[in-house]
Amino acid sequence: MQRDERAGGNIPTHGGEALVGFAPELKSVAPFRIDDWGRYPACHMGYDKLWELRNHVARIMREERATGVVITHGTDTIEETAYILARTLDPEVPVAITGAMLTAGDSGWDGPRNLTDAARVAASPESRGRGTMVVFAGQIFAGHQATKVHATGLEAFAAPHAGPIGSVAEGRVEYGSGAGHARPVPLHPAALTARVALIPVVIGDQGELLDLARPTHDGVVIVAYGSGNLPPGALPAIRRWIGEGKPVVLASRCLHGQVTPVYAFPGGGATVVREGAIPAGPRTASQARMELTICLSAGVQYGGGER
């Protein structure tokens, strides 16, 4: 990005050649080829573009036998892109996704450092078999665990359910003991065809939004309170989803911890799970939505209960 006074703010400006020019240390990391696949704000990356990018990376791995891939990406939807790549690509070839919180021209711009660190991660022999990772502010996160946790800070990414798997310091890539190899088995949908809603419940919720979304979506992730509790007025709408055979996944609005169905009052997490909702496990709500989208697109069948 670069600030454009006529536009009144930051807009996509720099292609691959310019980014490489801003990061002169890249040349000493490994041989590379620049691929200007696209120049999009992160919030413009819909399912079609995400899947196009996924297939482009898969082709590079297959046809060009790349030993590593670096993707520069707008930070707003890095977690969705990283999740899809982590869940659908061969993990043998490392993919390092990075971005910047400051804009080219800002004092202390973090783009060159993050790009160089990502290249070091992608080029490291220790990264083989670790699949997709997010590299940001000197930390390395597994792609299916990374999420953006700060709107503007330089250390914008974390893995609330796991923590970082490694770091980059003084040009060295280091992984923690036993880090990064506990990955889900990749799925291989032909495309991201499933439509999954993401709906938060609110105080006094009667399930109106759940009912509105049901006719046009194949599944839903509900952002519940705490360990999976929600207003009892939303239960009838949840039953209607489950009655139509459409999966309901229960995530928490809390950044840390996960849905633990232990409350048995009406609307309590245990009650909702008994109705057939599926706890999201160690995933944020957005990650749970991507997981359900990938699974439904790949033909995974759900019959209620925890998966």
H or E segment and range at residue 158: strand 157-158
Per-residue pLDDT for 273 more than 50?
Answer: yes
User: Does residue 10 sit in the same domain as residue 144?
Assistant: yes
pLDDT digits (tens, 9 = 90+) for 11-44: 888 889 989 999 999 999 999 999 999 989 999 9
DSSP state of 67: S
User: Does residue 170 sit in the same domain as residue 82?
Assistant: yes
| In a domain? residue 181 | no
User: Does residue 206 sit in the same domain as residue 67?
Assistant: no
Looking at the structure of the chain, the number of domains it has is: 2
Domain boundary among 175, 210, 230: 175
Domain boundary among 143, 175, 207: 175
Domain residue limits at 22? 2-175
User: Does residue 171 sit in the same domain as residue 200?
Assistant: no
Rounded CA gap, 23 and 34, in Å? 13
pLDDT digits (tens, 9 = 90+) for 212-259: 999 999 999 999 999 999 999 999 999 999 999 999 999 999 999 999
pLDDT digits (tens, 9 = 90+) for 83-137: 999 999 999 999 999 999 999 889 999 999 999 999 999 999 999 999 999 999 9
Residue 236 structure tokens: 């009838």
| In a domain? residue 69 | yes
Rounded CA gap, 307 and 304, in Å? 8
Rounded to an integer, the average pLDDT of 271-275 is: 96
Domain boundary among 116, 142, 175: 175
Say if residues 181 and 130 touch (Cβ distance below 8 Å).
yes
Rounded CA gap, 125 and 256, in Å? 32
User: Does residue 67 sit in the same domain as residue 102?
Assistant: yes
Per-residue pLDDT for 307 more than 50?
Answer: no
Rounded CA gap, 298 and 296, in Å? 5
| In a domain? residue 279 | yes
b or e along 268-307 (b: 16 or more beta carbons within 10 Å of the residue's beta carbon)?
Answer: bbbbbbebbbbbbebbbbbbbbbbbbbbbbbeeebeeeee
- Which residues 6+ apart lie within 8 Å of 185 measured at CB? none
pTM of the complete model beyond 0.75: yes
User: Does residue 153 sit in the same domain as residue 11?
Assistant: yes
Rounded CA gap, 227 and 133, in Å? 28
Rounded CA gap, 82 and 69, in Å? 12
Say if residues 280 and 249 touch (Cβ distance below 8 Å).
yes
Rounded CA gap, 84 and 143, in Å? 8
User: Does residue 43 sit in the same domain as residue 169?
Assistant: yes
User: Does residue 161 sit in the same domain as residue 226?
Assistant: no
User: Does residue 227 sit in the same domain as residue 147?
Assistant: no
Say if residues 175 and 126 touch (Cβ distance below 8 Å).
yes
Q: What is the CATH number of the domain that holds 246?
A: 3.40.50.40
pLDDT digits (tens, 9 = 90+) for 134-193: 999 999 999 999 999 999 999 999 999 999 999 999 999 999 986 545 677 899 999 999
User: Does residue 218 sit in the same domain as residue 94?
Assistant: no
Per-residue pLDDT for 67 more than 60?
Answer: yes
At 292 the pLDDT is 98
Q: Are strands 132-136 and 139-142 parallel, antiparallel or unpaired?
A: antiparallel
Torsion of CA 300, 143, 149, 201, to 10 degrees: 0
Residue 15 structure tokens: 């292609």
User: Does residue 250 sit in the same domain as residue 161?
Assistant: no
Cα separation values, 145 from 47, 65, 83, 85, 215, Å: 19, 26, 8, 12, 31
User: Does residue 31 sit in the same domain as residue 124?
Assistant: yes
pLDDT digits (tens, 9 = 90+) for 70-85: 999 999 999 999 999 9
| In a domain? residue 185 | no
H or E segment and range at residue 208: helix 208-213
| In a domain? residue 246 | yes
Q: In whole numbers, what is the pLDDT of the chain averaged over residues? A: 94
At 179 the pLDDT is 55
Taking the CA of residue 176 as centre, how many other CA atoms within 13 Å lie in the half-sphere pointing to its CB? 14
| In a domain? residue 283 | yes
Q: What is the CATH number of the domain that holds 13?
A: 3.40.50.1170
